[in-house]
Each structure stands twice: as structure tokens, then as C-alpha cells.
Structure 1
Amino acid sequence: MIPGAAEYDVDLTVDEERVDRLLAVTPADVDAAPELSFARNVFVPLTTACRYTCTYCTYYDPPGQAELMAPDEVRDVCARGADAGCTEALFTFGDDPDERYDAIHDQLDSWGHDSIHTYLREACKIALEEGLLPHANPGDQTREQMATVADVNASMGVMLETTADVQAHGGPRAKNPGQRLNTLRNAGELSVPFTTGILVGIGEDWADRAESILAIRELHERYGHIQEVIVQPVVENERWTDGTPDLATMRRVTAMARAGLPDEISVQVPPNLAPARDLLDCGVDDLGGVSPVTDDHINPDYAWPALRELEDIADEAGVPLRERLPVYERFVDESRGDAEWVSDRIREAIEWDDVHGERFRSVLRTGENPA
């Protein structure tokens, strides 16, 4: 049983035979993708407050030091991103700030917000006004919290990281794999196109990696909502000095992700953190979001590659490189029963917005950004 699954009433048990089959996969068992994609984004680190204290993370700040972006700062970053041709506003968080962050909550209250999620909704509206499609990653969310912001997001995400109970999540404020899976389930029930991923090298073993991939697959098979899975190595930083996975590990786990996931789910590696050139033959088809404007605020020591470098990676692999939106094309084109994958607000921005829509439509249909 996955730790915490029963606590959050997540009915999910990964079959051991499927785990064993996935553990036998090698890079030779998968094919290289026929093309590579990427998104052009800006990072908007809405708050550095976080209820967790993961030992590998440099993003969070403790109470008294955490920051909260003001609305005019959000608008400025988004405007600069739109001017640079970006299509995505990536809203990053620590997980929902707890009661220790009294200064953060006081500031939210002074702006007329009773939670970080109602403020996130305002920030997403600002991004839309400035010509970007929001993709929010606010960590673990209840169904009510996600519903508060779903209609103003083109897609959303949270890293599952692992289904294992690892010491790197340890302490009195540890992440709970069951809670993470509950967030993925909430996204499926709310028809939110979703990005998730595994974090490699934080104390999980090979069986844990296989189980994590298969858990994502099972939830996708129920709801059809996972658009991409990130295979991300933990990297050295001022808080994490226990090493990063070697190339052989990354090649094997990337191939496992490709073999273990349905074909419609993209396998992504972040090119500023992983040796992307050496992983392309393991089934990678996406290089994630990169920014010409902002740093990677989650991993500030690791600079984004320039677009020219992404083109070189694709050229070396002999495949085309195309730009994409933060929501994959199939979710814009499809509905699921009575539920639309994207809200009217997002669809209007993509298809009918006279000011910004040309850029979105061009990326969606041709993979080329007129900006």
C-alpha cells in the first residue's frame, strides 16, 4: 500500500507483476521520439512560503523570511514575458503556507484575500490580461482549492516525486505520497489538464520508481488528464549535498517512464537539470518550459538553455523542434462527456482573443510563435 493512500481515501494499488515488468525495461526497449517540443514561459514565484521542509529544496523560505509577490510585480513579469514572445505564466509556490506564516497571511488579508488560492486566482487573471496562459503549480490541493483556480488556468501541475516514504521528506512537516496522489485525482475529477513527474535520487529505490510511474498511469487511465510526466534528477545545491543520479540511472528511469506510460503522455526532461542530449534515445519528447526572461526560481543555480541550444539538441538528434502551449493541443480540441478540458475563459484567450490569440493559435496549430 502506498504511504498515506488510505488516509486520503485513494484507492490505488500497483500490481507487483507490472512493477517487475517495468523494472526489466532498458533504453534498448524504447524508441526515440520523432520530434521534440518545448514551451516558452515566465516563472512567477508567487510565494516562497511552504509548509514543508524538504532537504533538497532551496525554494522555500522560513517564516519571517518568505516573500509574497505583489499584484503589480506579477503584472510586470507577465508583461515582460508576453513582450518576449512567451505563452505561459508558470506560477510556482511552496505548498500552501501554514499558520506559521502569519506575515504572509496578514498581507493576503490586507489585499482582500482569505487564502493563497484566492490570490492565485487574481494573479492568473492578471496573466491572462497581459497575454499569457496560466499554468499554476501550487503543490498539494484539496478539491475545493483546485476548483477555485481551475477555470483561469490552461493547465496545472504538481510533482508526485515518489510514492515512497523517504527521509528527504522527513521531519514533522513531511510530504505525504497519498496527499500528492489525492491532488492528481482531484485534477482528474475536475477535468484539469495536468503535469506531474518523478524526482530521481531522493532516497527511493528502483521498485519505488516503477511504482510511481505506474501510479501516474493508473490515475490517467481513470481520468485521461495527464499531459506530461517530468523525469527530473535531484541536483546539488546549498541544501542538498548527497549527490545527483548518474547518467546510467537517468537513462534507465527515463526509458522506464516511456515504456510505462501511455503514448499520449509526453516524457519530459528539464534541459537545465538533466543531460537531455544523452536521454533522447530513451523516449524523451519534450524539453519543458524554458524562459527567455526569468530564472528557474526552483533551481536558481542552473540556468535555462537558450533557444539556440534547444535547437542544437534537436538538430543533433535529427528531429524537428516545435513550440507548444502550456496546455496540449488534444485538450483544446476535445471534450470529455459533459466536461470541457479548458474553460470558456481559456478557450477565448486561445481562439478568439483579438489582442493575444494570434500568437496562441499559431503555436497551437503550427508550433511557431509569431513573436
Structure 2
Amino acid sequence: MIVTYSMNVFIPLTRTCRNNCHYCGFRINDGKVMGEDEVENLLKRASSATEALFTFGERADEFGKVRDWLRGMGFDSMIDYTVHLNKLAVEHGLLPHTNAGVLSRSELKKLKEWNASIGLMLEQAVELECHKESPGKNPEVRIKTIKDAGRLEIPFTTGILIGIGESRDDRYYSIEVIADLAENYDHIQEVIIQNFSPKKGTPMECWKAPGIAELLDAIEYAKKALPDDVVIQIPPNLIENLKACLDAGARDIGGISEVTPDYINPEHPWPSLKKIEKSLNGEYTFRERLPIHPKYVRMGWYSERIAHLIERYADKEGYRCSK
């Protein structure tokens, strides 16, 4: 069985965010934005990566400090600045993947030109107490972004976060919503099944993290509900029993960085690929992929702006070619 992964560099442009999710330890709202020099330094250090993962708080430019900084640098919005940095990543030989929260159709079109794929976690397709101060976590708003990405033929990553106050039926329903989107638009390349990890200093710091049984149950249901060519991804730094998750149907372990930590879950460092392979006793074959999955490489779902990099990195099957 093949299990895929990508080598990336994690670039958190700002931790300012309009949402105030009760489990989030990423949001700081200090108004700071990474400068171009800082971003370029990370890009230069990512010698073994093919993916530049850009992420930041949703609608950060609604805050005056961020907006003023952007204008001082000559940018009208956070998305415009991100596109500028996407171009910089391409110049350094990296394929961008951007997670920017809820996006409009016009913003998606801007990003499509310079991104190999785009992501937005659905998290849950039902309203939850932990999202009551988070307008961008309204399920209808997030589903609209995912639909718009499908209409624009953007290879897309989404997923659910389990253990944040939802019921088992809620998880199943959320997976069914994603399955329906995948069947209708054929653009969802991977679905992340991610377990909630409590963060100190947050309203949910004392909540119990979901156990392996709940995680496996969600993976098994996703395997049944999703189209066969939609890959189920699990975060290897948040899961102790990786083999059980792969046996249940997961086939991707996401992006791994040798340069940057997981800024969303910094208390859980990335395991090395060698450590992961050793723990599985050779039962699974690992293959590196790009931020655009092999199916969409073969379909040609990418712009001319990044075609030269995909042609450089991808083999005939769409995986990362031998180095």
C-alpha cells in the first residue's frame, strides 16, 4: 500500500485572526506580519522541500495594525501580499499551497494562478459552541468557499476536526457534506481527519482529547463515504498509533518540514520520515508527492505560472520524481 507525504516549509504570515475559536493556540492578534525578507529566508532554507505552505489568520486585514502595515508596504489586502509571496516562492523553486480561511471567488481566482492547491478545513458542518465568536466558522460560509474552489477547478484540501464538542453523528454528517462536494466538483484531493489537541491558555485547555477509537471510527466512515480517489490524510505528529490509522484507510500523512515546526500544534514536533517508516515495519510504501496530488497533476489542473515546476518535479504518475 502506498502512503504519500510532501516536504514543505511552513510560513505563518500573521497570527492575527478575526475568529476566536475556543481551542486555538495560534491566534495572538498582535498585528504583526512576516516581512518579505523573513519569508525569503525560510524559502532559501527549504532545500529539500517542494511545497511552501502559506497560512495566516482569517481576514487579518480587518484589523487596523495589519491593514496599515500592508498599505505601508504597497499592498491593498492580505491576499494581494500573499500572492506576491507566492510568486517569490515560485522564483525559489517551491510550489505554494495557501490556507487563508474563508475566501471570495475573486480571491480564489487570484490565488489559483500561483498556487498548486488551496486549503480550508470545514472542521464541522454544524454550528458549535466553540465557534460562537468565530464568524468565519459558519458552516455555510465555509462550504461556499469550497464550492467556489470547485467551480474554479482548484485542487483542494479540506477536512474535519474531531473532539471540539460535536457528536458522532455530526462527524458523519460533516464527512457526508465533504463527500457530496467531492462528487459534484471533483476537486477535493484530500480530506484531513484531525484530532483536537488541547492548548494551554485557551477556554478548552482542560478538555479531553479524543481517543484513538474515535479517530479510527471517523477514518473508517470517511473511507466508506468519500469517493475512492479522495485521499484521507492524518497528522503524524498528533497520532501515536499511526499504523492503526493507516490500516483503517488513511493514505497520506500530510506535509513534513525539516525547517519549521507545526505552528498550529507546536507542542507536537514533526516525526522524521525514517522514524515513521521504522514504526510501520515496512508494511507501507512511502512516496513523496507535491502539494498538488498525482490525480490533478495528470489532469493538468494547474496554471502556466507554475507548470515549469510541476514538470520539473513530477514523474509520469504525478508523484515526486526521484531526486
Q: Does TM, normalized by the shorter one, top 0.5?
A: yes
1:209–1:61 distance in 2 versus 1, CA, 3 Å: same
Which residue type is aligned with residue 295 of structure 1? Answer: P
Instruction: Give the TM-score, by structure 1 length.
Output: 0.83
Query: In the alignment, which residue of structure 2 is the partner of 1:197?
Result: 159
What is the aligned counterpart of 1:343 among 292, 299, 303? 303
Deviation (angstroms), 1:248: 1.0
- Secondary structure of 2:113 counterpart: helix
The residue number in structure 2 matching 1:293 is 259
Task: Tell me, yes or no, if structure 1 residue 73 matches structure 2 residue 38.
Answer: yes
Question: Secondary structure of 1:112's partner?
Answer: coil
- Counterpart position of 2:215: 250
1:114 equivalent in alignment to 2:81: no
Aligned twin of 2:274: 308
Assess if the C-alpha contact under 8 Å between 1:37 and 1:323 holds in 2: yes
1:366 Cα deviation after fit? 5.5
Q: Counterpart amino acid of 1:73?
A: E
SS of equivalent to 2:17: coil
Q: Secondary structure at the match of 1:232?
A: strand
Q: Secondary structure at the match of 2:60?
A: coil
Structure 1 Cα separation of the partners of residues 175 and 184 of structure 2:
15
**Counterpart Cα distance in 2 of 1:66 and 1:236:** 24
Residue 361 (structure 1) aligned to one of 294, 314, 318: 314
Displacement of 1:142 after TM fit?
0.8
Matching residue's letter, 1:257: A
Matched with 1:158 is 120
**Amino-acid identity (%):** 39
Which letter does structure 1 place at the counterpart of 2:276?
L
Structure possessing the higher radius of gyration over alpha carbons = 1
> How many residues are paired up?
319
User: Which of 102, 105, 108 is 1:143 aligned to?
Assistant: 105
**Partner residue, 1:185:** 147
Distance 1:244 1:334, change over 3 A: same
Note the C-alpha offset of 1:171: 2.6
How far has the Cα of 1:362 moved from its partner? Answer: 5.0
**C-alpha contact 1:56 1:168 (8 A) present in aligned 2:** yes
| Structure 1 letter corresponding to 2:60 | P
Task: Give the aligned residue type for 2:190.
Answer: E
Q: CA deviation at 1:174?
A: 6.0
Q: Is the 8 A contact 2:4 2:287 kept in 1?
A: yes
| Contact 1:48–1:94, Cα closer than 8 Å, also in 2 | yes
**SS where residue 137 of structure 2 aligns?**
coil
SS of the residue 2:218 aligns to: helix
Inter-partner Cα distance in structure 2 for 1:145 and 1:304: 31
Q: Give the TM-score normalised by the residue count of structure 2.
A: 0.95
* 2:9 is equivalent to residue 42 of structure 1: yes
Stretches of structure 2 that go unaligned for 5 or more consecutive residues are none
Secondary structure of 2:107 counterpart: helix
Whether contact under 8 Å (1:269, 1:287) holds in the other structure is yes
**Distance of aligned partners of 1:36 and 1:172 in 2 relative to their CA distance in 1, 3 Å threshold:** closer
- The AA in structure 2 aligned to 1:93 is F
Instruction: Quote the offset at 1:277 in angstroms.
Output: 2.5
1:279 alignment partner in structure 2 = 245
SS at match of 2:193: strand
Residues 10-45 of structure 1: CA distance to partner in whole angstroms, max 9, x if unpaired?
xxxxxxxxxxxxxxxxxxxxxxxx221110001000
Task: Kindly report which structure 2 residues correspond to 1:53-68, keeping only aligned pairs within 5 A, or say none.
Answer: 53-62=20-29, 65-68=30-33
- In 2, the alpha carbon distance for the partners of 1:320 and 1:285 equals 10
List runs of 5+ in structure 1 lacking aligned partners: 1-33, 336-340, 352-356
- Contact in 1 for aligned 2:294/2:319 (Cα 8 Å): no
